[in-house]
């Protein structure tokens, strides 16, 4: 059987996503084999900072009876000595049953999959994709409403935000309508927007949150991806240019949910945390059952 990698959300069709989310729900209700991955080892190769993604993958493997290994910080591994990613991956393939990788370069996870002899999961490749985040985003939406034909707003850095890219692609499978709002220069990449439109997705660009707040079912807010900017001046030109407040949400549909992949900087006022619309902490918690389902998918 061919090794199963998860590199992009495009690796799934709609029924594949639905099946995985159903499995995650079953896991969430504690109906799963705690020894399903007994004796299996997950290599966690993170070349960029992470709290949620890394810890929830580590929790996920532990809850299934397996263990994880990692090099600690990037400076502590041989890539700091000039080893290529290809060689690192060949070597790590010999130490683990699957590899979760996060890397600052777009395409790095796909490259890793070419050299790995075990399954590779992309935990974020530069401004590319972040499929495990999208699966937990969809899981969180499904906890509140059926995903079909909903109006979803993507707000923030849609140029560099990999979570927005993967989510937009996934939503095109569910006949969703996309509303976008981003600072000038941080719009959804043209290639992605064209690809989505060709798939029949309607994309409406807005100039303000007020303009769209009454029309949407999901408000997906993202952080400006400061680390992808060429210099700090260009970051400060757009920093703090949007902020979700409880006052803005008074015009929202009653069932609207506010999501954010986190970490947030200043784009969601902490007062929103108390609002019945806020779902972002629940969303991050959902990372564990969803990643357990993903690990069982590729490692069993």
Closer of 124 and 131 to ligand NCD (Cβ): 124
- Of residues 174 and 220, the one with the C-beta less far from ligand NCD: 220
Q: Which is nearer to ligand NCD, 159 or 223 (CB)?
A: 223
Please pick, from the candidates 21, 99, 113, 124, the single residue that binds ligand NCD as defined by CB under 6 A. 124
**Chosen residue from 66, 131, 261, 289 binding ligand NCD by CB under 6 A:** 261
Provide, rounded to whole angstroms, the least separation between the CB of residue 162 and ligand NCD.
Answer: 5
The answer to whether residue 286 forms part of the interface with ligand NCD (CB under 6 A) is no
Instruction: Return the number of the residue (23 or 130) whose C-beta is nearest ligand NCD.
Output: 130
The reply to whether 223 sits near ligand NCD by the rule CB under 6 A is yes
For ligand NCD, the closer of residues 53 and 180 by Cβ is: 53
Q: Which is nearer to ligand NCD, 40 or 103 (CB)?
A: 103
Q: Are strands 151-155 and 67-70 parallel, antiparallel or unpaired?
A: unpaired
Contact 120, 147 (CB under 8 A): no
Residue 287 contacts residue 53 (beta carbons within 8 Å): yes
**Three-state DSSP state, 41:** strand
Q: Across the strands, what pairs with 44?
A: 70, 100
Under DSSP, the state recorded for 81 is G
When binding is defined by CB under 6 A, the residue of 133, 180, 275, 286 that contacts ligand NCD is: 133
Please list every residue from 34 through 63 that binds ligand NCD, using CB under 6 A. Answer: 52-53
- 144 burial level (CB within 10 Å; 0-12, 13-18, 19+): middle
CB 61 within 8 A of CB 119: no
Please report how close the Cβ of residue 124 comes to ligand NCD at its closest, in angstroms. 5
- DSSP structural state of residue 104: S
Q: Shortest approach of ligand NCD to residue 260 CB, angstroms? A: 8
Q: How far apart are the first and last CA of the chain?
A: 12
In this structure, are residues 160 and 222 in contact, taking their beta carbons and an 8 Å threshold? no
Three-state DSSP state, 263 = coil
The CA distance from 143 to 139, in Å, is 6
The residues in 59-118 that bind ligand NCD, with binding defined as CB under 6 A, are none
User: Is the Cβ–Cβ distance between 69 and 95 less than 8 Å?
Assistant: yes
Shortest gap between Cβ of 185 and ligand NCD (angstroms)? 17
**The two three-digit tokens of residue 6, written as one number:** 């998860």
Smallest distance from ligand NCD to CB 261, Å = 4
In the complex, least distance from residue 253 CB atom to ligand NCD, rounded to whole angstroms: 25
Nearest-angstrom CA–CA distance, 68 and 33:
18
- How many chain residues interact with ligand NCD (CB under 6 A)? 10
What residues make contact with ligand NCD under the rule CB under 6 A?
A: 52-53, 124, 130, 133, 162-163, 223, 261-262
């Amino acid at each position: 059987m061919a090794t199963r990698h998860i590199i992009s959300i495009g690796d799934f069709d709609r029924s594949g996503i639905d099946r995985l989310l159903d499995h995650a729900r079953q896991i969430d209700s504690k109906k799963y084999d705690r020894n399903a991955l007994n004796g299996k080892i997950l290599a966690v190769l993170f070349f960029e900072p992470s709290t949620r993604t890394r810890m929830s993958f580590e929790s996920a493997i532990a809850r299934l009876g397996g263990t994880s290994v990692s090099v600690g910080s990037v400076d502590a591994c041989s890539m700091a000595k000039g080893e290529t990613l290809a060689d690192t991956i060949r070597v790590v393939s010999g130490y683990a049953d699957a590899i979760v990788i996060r890397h600052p370069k777009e395409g790095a996870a796909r490259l890793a999959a070419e050299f790995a002899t075990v399954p590779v999961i992309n935990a974020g490749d530069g401004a590319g994709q972040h499929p495990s985040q999208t699966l937990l985003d969809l899981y969180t939406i499904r906890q509140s409403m059926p995903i079909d034909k909903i109006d979803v707003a993507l707000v923030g850095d849609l140029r560099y935000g990999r979570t927005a890219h993967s989510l937009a692609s996934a939503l095109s499978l569910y006949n969703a309508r996309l509303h976008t709002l981003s600072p000038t220069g941080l719009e959804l990449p043209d290639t992605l927007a064209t690809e989505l439109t060709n798939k029949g997705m309607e994309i409406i660009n807005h100039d303000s949150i007020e303009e769209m707040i009454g029309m949407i079912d999901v408000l997906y807010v993202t952080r400006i991806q400061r680390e992808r900017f060429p210099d700090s001046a260009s970051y400060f030109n757009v920093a703090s240019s949007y902020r979700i407040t409880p006052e803005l949400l008074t015009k929202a549909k009653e069932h609207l949910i506010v999501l954010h992949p986190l970490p947030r900087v200043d784009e969601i006022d902490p007062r929103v945390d108390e609002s019945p619309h806020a779902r972002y902490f629940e969303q991050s918690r959902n990372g564990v059952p969803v990643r357990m389902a993903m690990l069982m998918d590729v490692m069993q």
